Amino acid sequence: MPRTRTRPHHNLTLAVLLLGVGANSLLQSLVVPALPTLMADLHTTQSTATWLMTGHLLSAFVATPILGRIGDRTGKQQMLIVTLVALAAGSALAGSADSIGPMIVARVIQGLGGAVVPLAFGIIRDEFPAAKARSAVGLTAAITAAGSALGLTLAGPIVDHLDYHWLFWAPMILTCTATIAAHLFVPESPARTPRRISRGAALLLPAWPAALLPAVSEGPVWGWGSPRTTALFAAAAVLCACWIAAELRSDDPLIDLRMMRVPAVWAANLVALLLGIGMYASLTSSPPQEGGDSPQPRG
Percent of the chain residues past pLDDT 70, beyond the cut = 85
pLDDT band at 266 (very low <50, low <70, confident <90, very high): low
- What confidence score (pLDDT) does residue 138 get? 86
Does residue 33 lie within any of the structural domains?
A: yes
- What confidence score (pLDDT) does residue 299 get? 38
- What confidence score (pLDDT) does residue 231 get? 93
Residues 13, 185 contacting (CB under 8 angstroms): yes
Cα–Cα distance measured from residue 187 to residue 19, given in angstroms and rounded to the nearest whole number: 16
Q: What share of the chain is helix, strand, coil (3-state, %, to 5)?
A: 75, 0, 25
Q: How large is the average pLDDT for residues 270-288?
A: 60
Instruction: Please state the pTM of the whole predicted model.
Output: 0.81
Does residue 114 lie within any of the structural domains?
A: yes
Does residue 160 lie within any of the structural domains?
A: yes
Does residue 153 lie within any of the structural domains?
A: yes
Residues 79, 70 contacting (CB under 8 angstroms): yes
Does residue 278 lie within any of the structural domains?
A: no
pLDDT band at 277 (very low <50, low <70, confident <90, very high): low
Does residue 49 lie within any of the structural domains?
A: yes
The DSSP secondary structure of 105-153, one letter per residue, reads HHHHHHGGGGGHHHHHHHHHHHHS-HHHHHHHHHHHHHHHHHHHHHHHH
- What confidence score (pLDDT) does residue 106 get? 94
Residues 81, 89 contacting (CB under 8 angstroms): no
Does residue 276 lie within any of the structural domains?
A: no
Residue 158 belongs to domain spanning: 9-190
Does residue 134 lie within any of the structural domains?
A: yes
pLDDT averaged over the chain? Answer: 82
Q: What is the pLDDT of residues 63-97, one digit of tens each?
A: 888 888 888 888 888 999 999 999 999 999 999 99
Q: What's the structural domain count of the chain?
A: 1
User: Does the pLDDT value for residue 200 go beyond 80?
Assistant: no
188, with CB counted inside 10 A (0-12, 13-18, 19+), is middle
User: Does the pLDDT value for residue 271 go beyond 80?
Assistant: no
Residues 18, 162 contacting (CB under 8 angstroms): no
- What confidence score (pLDDT) does residue 133 get? 85
Q: How large is the average pLDDT for residues 87-113?
A: 93
Q: Which of the two residues, 283 and 289, has the higher pLDDT score?
A: 283
| CATH number for the domain that contains residue 98 | 1.20.1250.20
